Amino acid sequence: MDEPQPAPQPRLLTPIALRGLTARNRIAIAPMLQYSGRDGLPTDWHLVHLGRLALGGAGIVFTEAIAVEERGRITHGDLGLWHDGQIAALRRIAAFVRAHGAVPAVQLAHAGRKAGTQRPWEGHGPLGEADRARGEPPWPPIGASPIPAAPGRPIPVEMSAADIATVKEAWRTAALRALEAGFEAVEVHGAHGYLLHSFLSPLSNTRTDAYGGDFAGRARLPLEVAETVRAVWPKDRPLFYRVSAVDEGGWTIEETVAFARALGERGVDVIDCSSGSLFDSSTANVRLKRSFGFQVPFAERVRRETGLMTMAVGLIVDPHQAEAILREDRADLIAIGREALADPQWPLRAEAELTGREAFGSWPVQHGWWLERRARIFAQMRAEGVAAP
């Protein structure tokens, strides 16, 4: 009689190699803006916020978008790496994340024409005189072309050749600071209507120079930024790039596939497939019809047609849903965001659900020690017929 075969290890829980780095599982915490920094510096809020997500068992924990320039902030509450004084506070966070088994990852960004915005709970509109009166003045945004992000938003200053050179240098130095801060993976934010996405889409880029016009011209700055970051990021550490795979009519999935191929040629390892928000204030307002896993087809197509690794994101809320995406070879990594805010232990709960056992050995020992003993007590109570409350 044949011996029963052990159940296969869930794909979601298997380690994944990213260049010389190995993440303990295929769950990433997506970048989520907290709008709670001070002068570009993280506070204890960020340490606790990102720290508890590392304790929850994720393989990779991304910071929120970190501005490469002061004028590249979305709000006054954004974090930054535009000067060396911002390294130490982020180093503390990266060290904590790493110490608890997750890969500390950083997302570098420039808001472009969406800069100078109120925090969401303060209105999410452009900064104005009332904001100035409380010590948060507006500043002029820059962009590919003088086209505002939305009606009533400031018209951005069209970037000159000197501005473009300055921004590329800002990405280079921010990547070096991220490296010094101890981050092991980096993502270039090229989505959601921020600076790089605004160059890609003809709806926001009407330039007639080498950085506009056809696909090659519009893709030039985003590709140069990817090259710039890859040149200073260690060869044994991965580079991610976040795309809006489609936007509000200016950019198509076919163009994303072509763009992803070009990114791969420049050393990008993972394409993080989001969508939309070219003209919206945030990803909370994506205009695509929402459904569970609604952006997964973008990750699947990019992966299939380019051979690059992809990360799927967008209303992935259930461990079995995430496992199916990976087993069907639709993506290589699963990113969760707001679901992790609702349940910071989602990766650990996924392990229990997918394996059918409470695996408290995977929990931080300070928690698992107690929970294992609680589970024994519960089992004994059930055996004795103690009714549930």
Task: State both tokens at 350.
Answer: 């996924």
Give the residue numbers annotated as catalytic, written as ranges: 194
* Stated pTM of the model: 0.95
DSSP letter (8 states) at residue 307? -
The CA–CA distances, whole Å, from 211 to 69, 162, 258 equal 20, 13, 17
pLDDT tens series, the chain, 389 aa: 455 555 679 999 999 999 999 999 999 999 999 999 999 999 999 999 999 999 999 999 999 999 999 999 999 999 999 999 999 999 999 999 999 999 999 999 999 999 999 999 999 999 999 999 999 999 999 999 999 999 999 999 999 999 999 999 999 999 999 999 999 999 999 999 999 999 999 999 999 999 999 999 999 999 999 999 999 999 999 999 999 999 988 999 999 999 999 999 999 999 999 999 888 765 544 566 789 999 999 999 999 999 999 999 999 999 999 999 999 999 999 999 999 999 999 999 999 999 988 779 899 999 999 999 999 999 999 999 999 88
Q: How far apart are alpha carbons 45 and 364 in whole angstroms? A: 20
Q: What is the domain class of 11-356 according to CATH?
A: alpha beta
Q: CA Rg, the chain, in Å?
A: 22
